[in-house]
Every structure is written in C-alpha cells, then in structure tokens.
Amino acid sequence: MSRRRRAAVLGGLSLVLGALAASDMAGREAALDARLGPAVGVVVARAPIARGARIERRDLAVRLVPARFAPREAFGAPAEVAGARAQVTVAAGTDLSPAVLAGAEPGPAGALVGAGPQERVTRIVAVGAAAELPAGSRTDLLVTRDAPGGGAVTRLALRDVEVVGASPASAIPEGSGAGLPRVALALRVTVRQAVFLAQAQSSARELRALPRPASAQGRR
C-alpha cells in the first residue's frame, strides 16, 4: 500500500472513530439529562447581604441547577424575594430560602419538577388572588408596558396556561397597582414562554393573571 493511500485510509478511520465518539458522548449526555431532569432556576445572593437588610433585585441572581438537585424550599424568581429582609447574614452565592428571609414565601414544594421534556415550570409574581388560582387550574396572562409617548399599553401575553401552584405575595405599596392582591405563581410553560415571562417580569410595568372558568379550560 502506498504512503498516500495509507494516509487516506488512516484519515477516513479517524473520521469514523471521531463520529462514533461524538455519538457516544451525545448519548451519554442525553441519558444524564433524562436522569437529572430539566434545569431550573434557583435564586441566590449575588453579593453578601447583611442581617436585617432589605433585599433589592440587584442583590439577587439566578443559578441554573438540575431539577433533581434543586432545594425544595428554593425561590424560582427574584420577584419572590425582593423586598424581604435577611434574618441572618447571607454569604454571596447562598441559595435563598424562607429560613433566612422574613416576608417572602416560595411556591409550593415540588413545583420545580414534573414538567415534560418540552416543558418547564417557571415562577412569576402577578396581580391576582391565590385563592382563585388553585393548582390544576388555568389562567390567561396580561402584560402592561409603558408606552413610548406616555401612558401604558396592555396586551394578552399568554393564553390558557396551567397553574402548578400559587401562594399570596406582598401587595404593591404604591403606584397604579397599589393595594391590589398579588400572587406568586408556578406555571407549566414551554421554554420560549418561560423566556418571555422572565423578560416581562423584569421590564414590564405589570403582569396580571386572569383565572379561566372551568367552562373555558382548554379553549383558545
């Protein structure tokens, strides 16, 4: 066999072996993802927080972890924590939980898991009453944003979303929504919807949950 032909054969063999190795690695990663479950967000302290300090959104970050290892008492959205006070000194990177905070309640235990392969469970805080949004019910979501010329514009953001869990959240002390009840919601959504809600939660003026009556469940 000539040197050129030997080099061609070895090159082809290298490509085949590389493809097999990549396929094997992809299979192992998929199996690992299936065992660990989807990645979920857990709210952590971005920087040290002094005991008794009121927590602002800038003090918080979200760490992605496999659902299997997410703390059951974890908060999933910074809005659930902002405004609470630290009952102890909190180190940077610490997972936040009711044990170290005063005035904040997470969504129901286990709400981080249970979504299908193309679904996620995300958490938001919206105007609404927790008693009207029990687990298993469905809701429409409205988003209100500031208009370029002043005022505000309200649009239908998502329709017929499944509620995984709901708990009361602190009312807005001032502004257009002052005094209205708010609810911390865990919702079953697609990844694209979860990204949209995260953006809306951080930039919109208001999110509002509209419970759907039983007769309208599943209707568009």
Residue 93 sits in a domain whose CATH number is: 3.90.1210.10
Q: Which is more confidently placed, 84 or 33?
A: 84
Q: Say yes or no: 114 and 159 in one domain.
A: yes
Q: Say yes or no: 129 and 162 in one domain.
A: yes
- SS3 of residue 187 by DSSP: strand
Q: Say yes or no: 41 and 130 in one domain.
A: no
Which pLDDT score, from 0 to 100, does residue 33 have?
53
- SS3 of residue 88 by DSSP: coil
**Mean pLDDT of the 121-150 span:** 89
Q: Say yes or no: 13 and 59 in one domain.
A: no
Q: Say yes or no: 134 and 209 in one domain.
A: yes
Q: Say yes or no: 127 and 47 in one domain.
A: no
Q: Whole-angstrom Cα distance, residue 127 to residue 107?
A: 15
Q: Say yes or no: 15 and 121 in one domain.
A: no
Range of the domain at 25: 1-36
Q: What does the pLDDT look like over 46-92, one tens digit per residue? A: 999 998 888 888 898 888 877 777 776 677 777 777 778 888 898 99
Q: Residue 74: how many CB atoms within 10 A of its CB?
A: 24
Q: Whole-angstrom Cα distance, residue 201 to residue 49?
A: 23
Q: Whole-angstrom Cα distance, residue 74 to residue 111?
A: 10
Which pLDDT score, from 0 to 100, does residue 31 have?
55
Q: Say yes or no: 126 and 207 in one domain.
A: yes
CB within 8 Å of 142: residues ≥ 6 apart: 154, 155, 156, 157, 206, 207, 208, 210
Q: Say yes or no: 117 and 187 in one domain.
A: yes
**What's the pTM value of the predicted model, to 2 decimals?**
0.47
Q: What does the pLDDT look like over 147-169, one tens digit per residue? A: 888 788 999 989 999 998 888 88
% helix / strand / coil in the chain, to the nearest 5?
30, 35, 35
Q: Say yes or no: 50 and 125 in one domain.
A: no
CB within 8 Å of 134: residues ≥ 6 apart: 163, 166
In the chain, how many domains are there?
Answer: 3
Q: Say yes or no: 32 and 67 in one domain.
A: no
Q: Say yes or no: 19 and 50 in one domain.
A: no
